[in-house]
Amino acid sequence: MITVGVEEEYLLVDPETCLPTPLVREVRATARLTPIADDREVQDELLQAQIEVATPVCTALEEVGGHLLRLRHAVSSAAQANGCRVAISATAPVRDVVPVPVTSTARYLKMRGEARLLVDEQLICGMHVHVGIPDRETGVAVLNRLRVWLPTLLAMSANGPLWDGRDTGFASWRTIVFGRWPVSGPPPYFAGAADYEARADGLVESGLIPDRGQMYWHARLSDRYPTVEVRCCDVQLEADDAVMLAGVVRALAATAIAEEKAGAAPALCPPELLHAATWHAARHGMGSTLVDPAGRLRSSVDVLGMLLRHITPALEENGDHREVRALVHRLLRHGTSADRQRRALAEAGLPAVAALITARETTA
């Protein structure tokens, strides 16, 4: 069975104003003192108002859900102990005029020196899914075959419609903000592992990026773990939705491996079409149309149905079919986290949005 792990990024905010609050050092120190989270599971991020959690390697989706609830509870309790709150949103709904300080590491300080405004506006939070692979050649085959589904995953995960106190018109404004880095968006198609390594080395050796950590493709090979890392998703309001996306990503990886072994031809999508499909998914979420793997614009419901049919054998083999299918149907009924933020804004304004994204029931 393919292993899976999840990383989630959260904002630390003031409980009254919902402004990002640079208390990551204090919150991490408090979280490490609790018996339910250790130093490896709770990490700094680029800005001091962000914090990241990482589950251990899991084989069952119920493990993923249990660890996420445990870590969300640990970080939420630590934040409250330090006078702030955890906000689970892909974008900060409001920002202060004074930028949030960068976390004081050499790498992050260098990034701020080279891209000041980009770093200042990096008040965005994603969810990364790692799926285990036996070798990097297999990993590249997985990248080549799941890349056409990345816009669909993005649309399903949308949770960032607000920025500077107003609706951006995008379901995932995080995707637009992150897309300004030099290496970002959907990955290209690779001829194999050697091609991947050569092109990654070329980006670093050119001096255009300082290291492979700034290869911000929506899916890439991890250089720390034997995994494919899918990075396109917004952080999720509910842990259940994060579990759903982890199950879908694992099934996509399993399906890709099976197709590769069978010699099936991958779906090829021109890079310009895939980039446009990504922008379209960030704009509309699940509320309109999506681009299917053949490059056709179809209703989002139809494309999601295509995705489920594509991965059903893998879901069944992993024992994930019932849970993932139920969660996907719930998504179709109730909408994305972005839809929930917009409903809260329409009903009672920004205070309702703040209450939604910092609600204790989303973190414990």
> How do residues 108-147 score in pLDDT, each as one tens digit?
999 999 999 999 999 999 999 999 999 999 999 999 999 9
* Average pLDDT estimate for 327-347: 97
How far is Cα 226 from Cα 242, in angstroms, rounded to an integer? 21
* Average pLDDT estimate for 356-360: 87
Helix (H, G, I), strand (E, B) or coil at 24: helix
Q: What percent of the chain has pLDDT over 90?
A: 95
Q: What percent of the chain has pLDDT over 70?
A: 97
86, 96 contact by CB (below 8 A) = no
| CATH number of this structure's domain 4-362, picked from the four choices 3.30.43.10, 3.30.70.100, 3.40.50.2300, 3.30.590.20 | 3.30.590.20
Query: DSSP readout, 206-231?
Result: TTSSSSGGG-EESEEE-SSSSEEEEE
309, 333 contact by CB (below 8 A) = no
